[in-house]
Amino acid sequence: MLSKKLEAALNAQINAEFWSAYLYLSMAAHFAADGKPGFANWFEIQFKEEQDHALKFFNYVIERGGKVELKPIAKVAQSWKSPLDAFEETLKHEQVVTGLINDLVSLAKEEKDYATESMLRWFVDEQVEEEATAQGYIDALKMIKDNGFGIYTMDKELQSRAYTPIAE
């Protein structure tokens, strides 16, 4: 059984993951309208992955006999100055999420809830990848600067990203 404290924190994380999903879906809409289907595709897949993260927490709370409480999803931005701007916000956001996951690990340790600590390991590893990926695109976009052909080529590359559901 989950402690009330941990149950509340996991419910807050479900909301944070859905907020992330909403943020990336907004970026997908922005780039679709901006004639960049590859960037739109990349962020749409990011949206799906965040939904998967939310569901992973959702199923875990239920599995542990806790009560899921879905809270309202806060407003997200609607437009970005450039692809670089969007990826910089992505990295900043993922760093915040990493902090939230780390806080959850600390709480699980405090509560001596080893099952939750073990479940969270997947997210600890995932965050390393999320931050590295965003940083990689930031580096590339800084090299490309305002070069239209560079943006066009990257858009083509991002078009090929395919969605793979995360393992349960």
Residue keyed to tokens 């924190």? 9
In 3-state terms the chain splits into helix, strand, coil percentages (rounded to 5) of: 75, 0, 25
Please give the residues from 124 up to 163 whose contact with ligand FEO meets the rule CB under 6 A: 130
Burial, 99: exposed, middle or buried (Cβ in 10 Å; 0-12, 13-18, 19+)? exposed
- Measured from each CB, the residue nearest to ligand FEO is 53
| Contact flag: residue 53 with ligand FEO (CB under 6 A) | yes
Dist. CA 10–CA 66, nearest whole Å: 10
Q: Which is nearer to ligand FEO, 99 or 156 (CB)?
A: 99
* Backbone torsions φ then ψ of 109, nearest 5 degrees: -65, -45
Q: Which is nearer to ligand FEO, 52 or 85 (CB)?
A: 52
Max CA distance (Å), the chain:
55
- Least distance from ligand FEO to the Cβ atom of residue 104, Å: 12
Q: Which is nearer to ligand FEO, 62 or 132 (CB)?
A: 132
How many CA atoms, within 13 angstroms, populate the side-chain half-sphere of residue 152? 3
| Six token digits for residue 2 | 């989950």
Site string for ligand FEO, 84-123 (x = CB under 6 A): ----------x--x--------------------------
The only residue of 7, 44, 50, 88 in contact with ligand FEO, by rule CB under 6 A: 50
- Least distance from ligand FEO to the Cβ atom of residue 93, Å: 8
Q: Which residues are near ligand FEO by CB under 6 A? A: 17, 20, 50, 53, 94, 97, 130
